[in-house]
């Protein structure tokens, strides 16, 4: 995704969704949600990859962290921050899913806190071992190919990409793939000392191993990428299952919701709006497939009959970066809904 100059998009209010934020994040921000519970939003990486939010939960005995970010330097910065908050050790690190922007900092935590247990859903551990290992091998090869293209002639945009990726590669070479050491299938509850964290998997959505965390006493929900703001993340996933997972999350009483990316929310308005969009689009895709005939329907016939203009306005507003993100994300949603439509 192209990095453009920072200029907040106009505030668009429609159906209770306010768009004033950007899917491009340029600075690190720390939010105190409750005593001993913090959320850290990270600036995007130099290769333009967004970095997942990190949530820190401090109990009387130990600390639990949700997601370790993408850049080892971001994980190190978060650890330094945690050490300013508390002398207690990080005992648990939960990866909400396998995507690199939520787990590449794992090894930094293990080096800093040798007794830490890295926790994830069993599928997430498998996906990290396969996909992330492959991604790590592919990254320097693609960078090398870009450098070879640059040798043939100057290209300012490509040079920027190469510079950004070189900075990221230098970091990744100093870290390693750190797989979870404790996996679960449906639930795991951790008591950090007068602070209980319920870790749950209630169905697939964004990936096959999505996990979320909930503090029942404090009513704080940490969702991972089943909820991403200000523009939802659907690039590849399981739309009908995602809707079921969002229904399950909406049953919880919440005072705060930390999405996988974006700012902390204090009610369910955005979650409901995302669910409504997912259900409407899945419903539209299914209806068109039935009308055309499930055996003869092709994506290129179905796609023009799905109208997303209203949702684009609601979620992306006037910000071109949000619009670009929405356009790519929504194509993923429609494609997945089509291929997963009941046949």
Q: Which residues bind Zn ion (CB under 5 A)?
A: 52, 101, 225, 260
Q: Which residue has the tokens 């090398």?
A: 144
d(CA 85, CA 58): 9
Report in angstroms how near the CB of residue 206 gets to Zn ion at its nearest: 8
Complex with Zn ion: residue 21 or 225, whichever CB lies closer: 225
d(CA 270, CA 265): 8
Complex with Zn ion: residue 101 or 263, whichever CB lies closer: 101
Complex with Zn ion: residue 95 or 107, whichever CB lies closer: 95
CB within 8 A of 325, min separation 6: which ones? 1, 23, 231, 316
φ/ψ bin of 275: left (φ > 0), alpha (ψ from -120 to 50), beta (otherwise): alpha
Complex with Zn ion: residue 202 or 207, whichever CB lies closer: 207
Report in angstroms how near the CB of residue 205 gets to Zn ion at its nearest: 13
Complex with Zn ion: residue 67 or 218, whichever CB lies closer: 67
Report in angstroms how near the CB of residue 50 gets to Zn ion at its nearest: 6
Give Rg (Cα) of the chain: 20
d(CA 121, CA 155): 43
Report in angstroms how near the CB of residue 175 gets to Zn ion at its nearest: 18
Report in angstroms how near the CB of residue 233 gets to Zn ion at its nearest: 7
Residue 97, token pair as written in the block: 């899913």
CB 48 within 8 A of CB 1: yes
d(CA 21, CA 29): 13
Complex with Zn ion: residue 162 or 199, whichever CB lies closer: 199
Residue 333, token pair as written in the block: 């949603």
Report in angstroms how near the CB of residue 300 gets to Zn ion at its nearest: 29
Sign of CA pseudo-dihedral 286, 291, 297, 301: negative
């Amino acid at each position: 995704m192209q990095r453009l100059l920072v200029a907040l998009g106009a505030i668009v209010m429609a159906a209770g969704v306010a768009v004033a934020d950007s899917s491009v994040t340029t600075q690190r921000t720390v939010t105190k949600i409750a005593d001993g519970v913090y959320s850290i939003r990270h600036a995007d990486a130099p290769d333009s990859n967004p970095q997942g939010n990190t949530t820190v939960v401090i109990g009387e005995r130990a600390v639990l962290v949700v997601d370790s970010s993408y850049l080892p330097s971001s994980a190190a910065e978060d650890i330094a921050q945690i050490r300013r908050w508390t002398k207690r050790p990080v005992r648990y690190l939960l990866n909400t899913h396998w995507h690199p922007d939520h787990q590449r900092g794992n090894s930094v935590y293990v080096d800093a806190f040798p007794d830490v247990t890295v926790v994830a859903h069993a599928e997430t551990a498998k996906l990290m071992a396969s996909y992330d290992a492959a991604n790590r091998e592919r990254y320097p090869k693609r960078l090398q190919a870009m450098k070879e293209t640059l040798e043939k002639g100057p290209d300012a945009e490509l040079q920027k990409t190469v510079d950004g990726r070189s900075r990221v590669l230098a970091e990744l070479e100093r870290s390693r793939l750190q797989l979870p050491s404790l996996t679960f299938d449906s639930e795991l509850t951790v008591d950090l000392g007068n602070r209980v964290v319920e870790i749950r998997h209630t169905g697939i959505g964004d990936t096959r191993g999505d996990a979320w965390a909930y503090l029942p006493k404090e009513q704080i929900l940490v969702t991972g990428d089943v909820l991403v703001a200000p523009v939802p993340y659907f690039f590849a996933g399981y739309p009908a299952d995602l809707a079921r997972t969002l229904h399950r999350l909406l049953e919880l009483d919440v005072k705060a919701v930390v999405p996988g990316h974006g700012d902390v929310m204090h009610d369910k308005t955005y979650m409901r709006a995302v669910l409504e969009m997912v259900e409407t689009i899945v419903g539209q895709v299914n209806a068109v497939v039935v009308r055309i005939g499930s055996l003869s329907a092709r994506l290129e016939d179905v796609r023009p009959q799905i109208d997303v203009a209203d949702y684009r306005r609601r979620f992306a507003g006037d910000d071109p970066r949000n619009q670009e993100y929405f356009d790519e994300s929504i194509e993923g949603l429609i494609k997945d809904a089509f291929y997963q439509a009941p046949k």
